Structure 1
Amino acid sequence: MMKQKLLTYFHGAVEQTAPPSDFQLDSYHWFHIDGENGWFGFQKNEMDLSQFDLLKTLFNHYLPEGTKENREEAMWSEYLFFGGMLPDNPCENFRIIQFQINDPHVDKDAIETVFKGFTHSSSMVIWNGANRGIIVERNGNFLEDEEYSSFAEAIQSDFYFTITFYIGKVMAFLQESAAIFSQEKSFFTAGLAINPGDRTLSFETILPHLLISRLDEQELEPFKKWFSILEEDKELLLTIKTFIENNGHNTNTAKKLFIHRNTLQYRLDKFTERTGLPLKNYHNFFTAYLACLYFSNKKPRN
């Protein structure tokens, strides 16, 4: 009786005689009643955490049979994406690396094989879309950010598609860490829209873009006035932005731009002369960088 009421209450609920397939596990919470044949599932987006927890106390929550790794991935998926409890096997800490591939028809098995050859053996890959997923790094076995940049380049060279990573923060193994991951998902989505050309994103790389995008017209007026040279001279804009992103290192910037150091110095002097802002300290760097982001994203005049 209760089962029928639930199947009626949740409009997207389904009932079937066979265990759910892997495809069905992506979108539904599945349950089984002792002594009865059949399985019933509820769409994950139809159910909040309190309802899910209640059903788990009333019925047998289904996790697929299979390897320990598959069950572990299922528990982490429930925890991170659907408000589930902490996975059974605790860890000291963890970090989530989100990724998105520009091809919606990728061979997931092939990608997972590549990922597992690149990441630590304690890490796991969990998909949450046709071309989007996460890498869960655990117990301090974290790769350097630069390694993910190199990995993205290697994938593009070998598989002919692009991949973007979001490097999350190290988190404690706590229930509330799932909420932090939810915020990181939002940052990743924003970063993909704001900075589509970058192959590795993080809170630090996205934050300046978010700050400049939230300024109103009055607050943007100083940027338009003091840094108008950046709108007029796109070569100078690229130079200043690259210089700051390379921590003010002349040699690295010149190599990145394929120009002579004397040419770089000429452009830096030109920027200072036109704006009155010498690139000599953190505050000037930050202000100039916000200006670069504003004019990089500013739509051209008709």
Structure 2
Amino acid sequence: MTIEELINLYPEGKLQKEKANDNMFSLPINGNYFVISKDILSEKEFYLLQKLFLPSTFAIDLQKHPWFDYLFNQADVEVDGSFRIIQFQLKKPKAFLQKEWEQSMKEIFPAFVDFFFTDESNGLLIEQYTKKHYQLTDIQSIFLTLDADFDSSTKAFVGNFYPADDHLPALFHEEQQIFLEEFNNLKAQSVFSLSDVAIHHYTKQSMKDSRIIQAYSKQLVFSSEFKQIILSLWHHQGNISSTAKDLYMHRNTLHYRIEKFYEQSGLSLKKMDDLVFCYLLITK
């Protein structure tokens, strides 16, 4: 996120050379500070801005991890080719074999060029493009295996491959924002990429701002059961059998409830357009 984008989002803020007092929130940007009142920020906004802009207090050796300096401090990095960044959040047991886990990651991803934690739970793995790079399903299997071996729980966002140029840090920061905002929306999916959340991520603000959607939401109230049905149908691409199995529900029962929903709402969850619309309504 650039300073111009921050000012557009928060016109109440201002750019100045000095850090403000404790009543204000100061974000260090390019040698200056973007200052904004804490009172106008929600808890979620405050957390996101901290994660996106404030430097980590976690000890990072910049000589060993030049990509941290490149991504967070706009330093130069001497590499050629295309790279992707895998962001992960790791929930560890009390007796966690940290060094062994890190060594396993390095052995599993032979094309990695840098790998480090940014705090106690969150980290990045930077991987160079090769023709034999892992697909999303491969990476999901890898983390499931590691979680089983180390009694941990991992959530990960797999970024796209981009050339290592002046634009990559900005692209990474947008991916970082996507990971932070969409982290909890995919409860059943531990590893995801942009395509899994793009529809929700890039339409949610328009959905919130639309008077038509607000009116529609008041008329159409979803029970917790139907929210689960819609989410499961969405994650299984509308497949009735897979959804019924996921919900521990008989296939005929699911058919019946979908038909009842159609009678009440005029929306058929068997049609992908209607399913997408309902998905956006319950996740906006």
TM-score relative to the length of structure 1: 0.65
Is this contact kept in 1: 2:200–2:280, CA < 8 A? yes
Q: Deviations over 1:35-75 (max 9, x none)?
A: xxxxxxxxxx978389xxxxxxxxxxx964xxxxx4xxx22
Q: Which residue of 1 aligns with 2:247?
A: 257
Task: Give 3-state SS (helix, strand or coil) of 2:165's partner.
Answer: coil
Structure 2: 5+ residue stretches without partners: 1-17, 20-26, 33-60
Matches within 5 A, 1:119-130: 119-130=109-120
1:149 aligns with 2:140: yes
With a CA cutoff of 8 Å and minimum separation of 6, indicate the structure with the bigger relative contact order. 2
- Greater Rg, structure 1 or structure 2? 1
Q: Which residue of 1 aligns with 2:152?
A: 161
Partner of residue 201 from structure 1, selected from 188, 192, 214: 192
Is this contact kept in 1: 2:97–2:150, CA < 8 A? no
Q: Which residue of 2 aligns with 1:117?
A: 107
Distance in 1 between residues matched to 2:28 and 2:280, nearest whole Å: 41
Task: Give how far 1:277 is off.
Answer: 1.0
Q: Between 135-144 and 121-130, report the one with greater CA deviation.
A: 121-130
Distance in 1 between residues matched to 2:115 and 2:62, nearest whole Å: 17
Distance in 2 between residues matched to 1:251 and 1:47, nearest whole Å: 51
Task: Give how far 1:221 is off.
Answer: 2.1
1:48 aligns with 2:39: no
* Change beyond 3 A, Cα 1:264–1:178: same
Q: Which residue of 2 aligns with 1:23?
A: none
Task: Give how far 1:293 is off.
Answer: 2.2
Structure 1: 5+ residue stretches without partners: 1-9, 12-44, 51-61, 65-69, 295-302
Task: Give how far 1:180 is off.
Answer: 0.4
Distance in 2 between residues matched to 1:135 and 1:63, nearest whole Å: 15
Distance in 2 between residues matched to 1:154 and 1:291, nearest whole Å: 35
Distance in 1 between residues matched to 2:242 and 2:185, nearest whole Å: 25
Distance in 1 between residues matched to 2:264 and 2:237, nearest whole Å: 21
* Change beyond 3 A, Cα 1:153–1:224: farther
Partner of residue 178 from structure 1, selected from 169, 187, 190: 169
Partner of residue 96 from structure 1, selected from 76, 82, 85: 85
Q: Deviations over 1:117-157 (max 9, x none)?
A: 32234454222222211111212343211223223332332
Task: Give how far 1:209 is off.
Answer: 4.2
1:246 aligns with 2:236: yes
Give the number of equivalent residue pairs: 228
Q: Deviations over 1:152-211 (max 9, x none)?
A: 332332222211101111212322112100111111111235556642233333444443
Distance in 2 between residues matched to 1:123 and 1:256, nearest whole Å: 38
Is this contact kept in 2: 1:95–1:171, CA < 8 A? yes
Q: Which residue of 1 aligns with 2:217?
A: 223
Q: Which residue identity does 2:264 align to in structure 1? A: R
Distance in 1 between residues matched to 2:227 and 2:165, nearest whole Å: 44
TM-score relative to the length of structure 2: 0.68
Is this contact kept in 2: 1:49–1:84, CA < 8 A? no
Q: Which residue of 2 aligns with 1:286?
A: 276
Q: Which residue identity does 1:245 align to in structure 2? A: H
Distance in 2 between residues matched to 1:46 and 1:288, nearest whole Å: 40
- Could you say what the CA RMSD is over the residues aligned between the two structures, in angstroms? 3.2
- The percentage of counterpart residues that share the same residue type is 23
Q: Which residue of 2 aligns with 1:7?
A: none
* Change beyond 3 A, Cα 1:169–1:236: same
Distance in 2 between residues matched to 1:257 and 1:196, nearest whole Å: 14
